[in-house]
Structure 1
Amino acid sequence: MHDQLHRPAITVHDDFTICRCDWCETLLSPDTAVCSSCHSTEISRTGSPGCGSIVSWTVVEVFASRTSNDRVPQTIAIVALDEGPWTYAWITGAPRANGKAPIRVRYHHMIPGEPYPMFVLQATR
């Protein structure tokens, strides 16, 4: 699972999708099975630009590969997407809190076999 996190940069930028309730059209996180507004289970996928702000993050130590006992730090975060839903995501780079300004991120790619997408930090202006 985590050996994919440390390979050289992946150039595939597959599309990022979130969920949308077929009944009330509420936008939902990518891993939603039941609508939080109307409780419908009729959920579809819809495209998303994949931009948002980090709500919270932590650094965890994960195994460098499936065959290694070495651990490396990785950042996992809760990202509030600009469309509204929140999602868990791995973050490339180390977020740095800079006062009250939100830490902006954008979707980069999915990691094969990993449930959470990889996001990258956006440059601040």
Structure 2
Amino acid sequence: MQEEAAQSAIDTFISAFNASTDSYVTELLSQALTSDVVFWGPLGRSDTVESVERFVLEMRRHPAGPGVMERCSRVDAPGEWARYRWMYRTPDDGPTLVGTDVVHLREDRIDQMIVFAGDVSGTAPGR
């Protein structure tokens, strides 16, 4: 059951990146996130759904053009924590970003999110 709730919240969050209008972004994020969500993103920590909304809107205005965000793995949810992989593709073979997010759920919505952008393949230095 927790995995289904996690997948629903995650997929709703991802759909905000692909919303038909900016105003729909707000609605989708309010369905997926708690109002006091703690978001660790590429630019540091933020503590409100409004700050996550600003981040999503900035991504939608990517210099290469609006991209498409998609979940590209299953949701792995051992209890109230979940993780998944994502990909953000910009139009016309522009930059593609990949990463893994780890989220915590409270009452079927995301209240904590850590974004790990980039591919973590290869070995550690010195090995």
**What TM-score results when the alignment is normalised by the length of structure 2?**
0.27
Larger radius of gyration: 1
User: Which protein has greater RCO, CA pairs closer than 8 Å, 6+ apart?
Assistant: 2
Greater strand content: 1
Greater helix content: 2
